[in-house]
Chain A
Amino acid sequence: MAKKEFSFNDAVEEIEKILHNIESGDLDIDKLSVEVKRASDLIKLCQKKLRSTEEEINSIFKDLS
């Protein structure tokens, strides 16, 4: 559909995958902190997309009116 929709869904898929990896217990401890950090970054990114106005999108919409 659109760029932003694509990356939000991608982020969710990736977080799901990380959760699955950690829960399966196969992850070794060195990779654990990397994966947890990645999940945390993705979550923050998603929440940011929901709450901060993105200038790029904002200007497109301003041009439409």
Chain B
Amino acid sequence: MTEKVSLTELQLIIRDSLYMALPDFYWVIAEISELKENSAGHCYLELIEKHPDEKNVRARVKAIIWSKRFTFLKAFFENSTGETLREGLKILIKIKVEYHEVYGLSLIISDIDPAFTIGEMAMKRQLIIKRLEQEGVFTMNKDLRFPAVPQRIAIISSKNAAGYSDFVNHLKGNSFGYVFYTSLLETALQGTETEQSVISALDKIALTSHIFDLVVIIRGGGSQSDLSWFDNYNIAYHITQFPLPVITGIGHDKDVSVTDMVANMSMKTPTAVADFLIDSVAGAENYIIEMIPGIINASRNIIERNKTRIESSSIRLFPLSRIMLSAIKDTLTSKIIEINTTGKELIFRAALIPADQRSKLTSAVKSLFSRGKLALERNNQRFITGTKNFLAVSSVRMNSLESTLQLLNPQNVLQRGYTITSHNGEILKVSDQIREGDIIDTQFKDGTAKSKVIGKDDKRFEPQND
């Protein structure tokens, strides 16, 4: 007869057998396929092993991290790797096998080695980079020319993301007063939806890429940023193929992801991206402004050269213009005389006209005269500068005339040794003014003499010509 056992007995035998076979702690490599935390703080996981290219799971088991231990391990892991414990991560854990008659098999996790996960992530990243390099696409977005004026920006981010509002406010409040146009495409930036969400945002932008200058992918940082969602071949590949430059500011203080590496540029934070865009525009404006002194100086040189040309020409030109203006003044003067004469004649004729008609005519003539005078004055204005010049020249001529006149002044005549003869106060110019016996006065420069005329003749004075 076969021995019968109860279920409990069977489970306990299994439990004891397992314990005897595997009593110690063992380090195990596994991938987290599920992770939940309950209200008491205990962490329940499902661990699997799966070949990356295969769909089928090779092995699966449940695991537990008791709450006190979980608090510690969670923080330890995050600080070391910059990632939170989550689905998809490959981990190296220290476990003990436990078999419970009710709950079955579980692995109790007591420790974790973050270096393994870092290594795994780094390796995963390296594989993606190699693949992109082999396909010859790695630098394609980097090779795109960054716009001189990056004003129209497509933003891949989330309204609620830390960093989005900082980015926009920073841009719009820039101290230069530059204008930026932004459009947000709401996107998931962590979790398993990240790949799908980012790619569809990129596709959407690509449909209207002509209205944008560039794309930014921004997200708040900190150690919980789960950068490995961006260590993704598909996202990176899409960026390399994208027609506009992509700038990332995914905010990870420890590391860069493949997305950062293939982007046209990557910065540590969204604010740093905003600063970079503002500086780019400032650089473009500066470039133009720096050309202004060059234009001014070069223009001044040309003007100076031409000024010299003009000055040397005008020295020759001025005498010619004086002659011209003098001729014009003569015409003007004769016209004034004409009008005066005509006016006077008219007034004379007016005298022959009856009184009542005369006043009408006089005022008509007067207005004619003043109108003519006005027209002349208007013409005169045009020649005023020329006339002023002419007068300046004339005054020079006048001065010389003046000196000639001075020479002819009787006083100066005396000074030169000539005398003035007078008779009864009347200056004598011809000998007919006196008769023999008259008393005449002679004025010398230093005194007078009285004389009596004792003889006369008609001999004229002839100047000696040598």
Contacts and interface: CB of A to CB of B under 8 A. Distances in A.
Does A pair with B? yes
B103 interface: no
B465 interface: no
Interface of B: 147-149, 151-152, 176-179, 181-184, 210-213, 281, 284-285, 287-289, 291-292, 294-295, 298-299, 301-303, 306
B285 A50 contact: yes
B299 A61 contact: no
Contact of B183 (A4, A51, A61): A61
A54 B149 CA distance: 14
B179 A19 contact: no
Interface in A1-28: 1-2, 4-5, 8-9, 12, 15-16, 18-19, 22-23, 25, 27
Contacts of B298: 19, 22-23, 25
B183 A65 contact: yes
Contacts of B151: 4, 50
B304 to A, nearest CB: 11
A22 to B, nearest CB: 4
Contacts of A36: 295, 299
B302 A22 contact: yes
Contact of B149 (A8, A22, A29): A8
A15 B284 CA distance: 13
Nearest to B208: A64
A36 B171 CA distance: 34
A50 B149 contact: yes
Given A5-B149, A36-B299, A29 B213 contact: no
B179 A53 contact: yes
Interface residues of A, number: 34
Contact of B303 (A4, A29, A43): A29
Nearest to B281: A50
Given A8-B148, A36-B299, A29 B306 contact: yes
A60 B152 CA distance: 11
Interface in A24-63: 25, 27, 29, 32, 36, 39, 43, 46-47, 49-54, 57-58, 60-61
Contacts of B147: 1, 5
Nearest to B306: A29
Contacts of B287: 12
Contacts of B149: 4-5, 8, 49-50
Given A2-B152, A5-B149, A47-B288, 5 more contacts: A2-B213, A15-B288, A22-B298, A22-B302, A50-B151
Contacts of B301: 25
Contact of B299 (A12, A32, A46, A47): A32
A60 B288 contact: no
